[in-house]
């Protein structure tokens, strides 16, 4: 059974994943400057809508999907955990390709990353406990919220702060690093997921078929929900594209770190997060290609 399967993932591999995630976050942070935060403080509506979309609407929609589809405990908890993570490392790149507000996307990633210290463990515990099969896993797992917050801070917030500081003090250096670092970090992250799956290929093949449809539906729900809430809030098409993509592109790398760090690499959870890591790039780039055919009104 998938709820009892455990992926083969060494302590060294987890350390490597942590390092990759930190580099990915740093590559996003060097796009930010204090001026970006000041501008959003004057016009915070789009940012607030985006954060509500990510941390309130997406987990709630995920719970409804779980109730309707009734997946196994570990798969359900994997979907809830991914939904509880902040925006993904490629959301900014995809928003730019889509002709959306890339500055808003980067700022959403930054604020969501800081907020994830509290909101990610809270959402996992709250929504996971409402579905009895996944609640059983949470009861059997000793999770220290402070330890999880420290993990999130180390992987995401520290590189974010260092990146913003470097950009503020050495913009000439960050200008040279920006594009190469973003491409390299994204390639390394995707490569790492592929290698990790290859090491567990038999297990992945045995269970991925049943999980793939759920992940695709979950991702579509996130994108559609982001678009809907941005439309209802009256955001411009320019901002709406950023909110849509930021909601549908999740930080599955952080999800994997939490799964292997706190849930012992539980098979259903890990396969959900790994499949998300590949699929959201495909769906996001496809959506960006469609959106970019027309210019967004600001």
Query: Which domains are seen in the chain, by residue range?
Result: 11-291 (1.20.1530.20)
Task: Tell me how far apart the alpha carbons of residues 58 and 25 are, in angstroms, rounded to a whole number.
Answer: 22
Helix 171-199 and helix 158-169, axial crossing angle in degrees, nearest 10:
150
Contact (CB, 8 A) for 240 and 230: yes
Give the per-residue pLDDT at 55: 95
The pTM of the full predicted model, rounded to 2 decimals, is 0.83
Task: Tell me how far apart the alpha carbons of residues 276 and 78 are, in angstroms, rounded to a whole number.
Answer: 10
The answer, yes or no, to whether residue 20 has pLDDT greater than 80, is no
Bridge partners (DSSP) listed for residue 6:
266
pLDDT tens-digit map of 146-205: 777 777 777 777 887 888 888 888 888 888 887 787 777 777 767 766 766 676 666 666
């Amino acid at each position: 059974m998938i709820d009892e399967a455990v992926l083969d993932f060494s302590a060294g591999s987890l350390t490597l994943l942590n390092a990759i995630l930190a580099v990915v976050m740093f590559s996003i942070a060097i796009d930010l400057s204090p001026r970006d935060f000041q501008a959003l403080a004057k016009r915070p509506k789009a940012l607030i809508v985006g954060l509500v979309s990510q941390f309130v609407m997406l987990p709630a929609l995920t719970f409804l999907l779980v109730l309707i589809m009734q997946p196994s405990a570990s798969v359900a908890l994997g979907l809830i955990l991914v939904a509880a993570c902040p925006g993904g490392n490629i959301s900014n790149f995809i928003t730019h390709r889509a002709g959306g507000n890339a500055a808003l996307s980067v700022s959403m990633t930054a604020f969501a990353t800081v907020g994830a210290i509290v909101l990610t463990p809270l959402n996992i515990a709250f929504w996971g406990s409402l579905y009895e099969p996944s609640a059983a896993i949470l009861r059997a797992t000793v999770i220290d919220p402070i330890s999880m917050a420290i993990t999130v801070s180390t992987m995401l917030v520290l590189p974010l702060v260092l990146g913003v500081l470097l950009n503020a003090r050495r913009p000439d250096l960050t200008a040279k690093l920006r594009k190469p670092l973003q491409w390299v970090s994204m390639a390394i992250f995707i490569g790492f997921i592929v290698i990790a799956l290859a090491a567990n290929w038999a297990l992945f093949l045995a269970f991925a078929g049943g999980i793939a449809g759920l992940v695709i539906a979950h991702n579509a729900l996130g994108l559609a929900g982001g678009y809907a809430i941005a439309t209802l809030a009256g955001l411009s098409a320019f901002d709406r594209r950023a909110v849509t993509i930021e909601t549908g592109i999740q930080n599955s790398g952080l999800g994997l770190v939490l799964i292997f760090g706190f849930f012992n690499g539980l098979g259903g959870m890990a396969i959900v997060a790994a499949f998300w890591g590949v699929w959201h790039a495909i769906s996001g780039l496809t959506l960006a290609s469609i959106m970019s055919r027309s210019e967004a009104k600001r």
